[in-house]
Amino acid sequence: MASSAGAPQSPAIPHHPRSLGVGSDPSQPSPQKIFNEIIHKIPTIQKFTEIIYENISPSDVEWTQDGLVSREEQRGLDAGVGMTFDGFTGVYQGSHKEPDFSFRADTDDFPSIVIESGWSESLPYLRADKDLWMKGNNFVQLVILLNWHKVPGGRVKGSAEIWRRNGAGNLVATEMTIFPVPSTPVLNEHIEFTKGQLFGAAAIGHPDAGTVLSLRMSRLREIAEERLVKKMGLMPA
């Protein structure tokens, strides 16, 4: 994982809905559909997740099992897709956006963590989405961009850009490789954030607001490989 405080900046392009499957076979699942199946298994929210997604493994329910998130807190956390957000400010006033996936405390109008996914040709638009989410409001704490790239031989490379604000309020990114799996083990290969960041206003004044939660890249790889092989007939690079 390499820090990229000097990470590529988003090009100045108008914001508009992305087509995540541009140039791909329409009979195949889009990267967004594949991603939705992947990400639903990672955060391990609660029993309603197990009901909706029948194949979830009990081993995935880590935040609860580890005692990091209580059941009451889980009930106050929305995680999923299908919700459109508006009310953006500044140059983004009048915009509206449905994230590929998000976490949102039910006391907040905006999500706290947003995840967007697409093929490599859509990366400029993913970064424009990142600017919308992080510059158009003060609620979003973290934007994760998953970028997939087809290479010869029916294989797929993948990477994640994790965008957040530094102490000065500027946007900085770290990059993590999904595929190919790094040949040398990477320490602390997690996407980390605090309960305060995740729950927003609901965590104000709570003594455990600084508790660190994480999404494991190793688990993302496992599920991504399964979906790539079974759903798209592709292999990790």
Q: What is the 3-state secondary structure (H, E, C) of 82-122?
A: CCCECCCCHHHCCCCECCCEEEEECCCCCCCEEEEEEEHHH
Q: What is the dihedral of CA 126, 41, 188, 195, to 10 degrees?
A: 80
pLDDT of residue 30: 53
Q: Where are the beta strands (DSSP E) in 166-234?
A: 171-179, 190-194, 212-216
pLDDT of residue 172: 98
Low-confidence ranges of the chain (pLDDT < 50): 1-28, 41-61
The whole-angstrom separation of Cα 56 and Cα 50 is: 6
| Backbone CA torsion sign across 92, 96, 102, 108 | positive
C-beta separation of 61 from 92 below 8 A: no
pLDDT of residue 221: 83
pLDDT of residue 215: 83
Question: Hey, how many other C-beta atoms are within 10 angstroms of the C-beta on 76?
Answer: 13
pLDDT of residue 162: 96
> Both tokens of residue 6?
């000097």
- Total-model pTM: 0.74
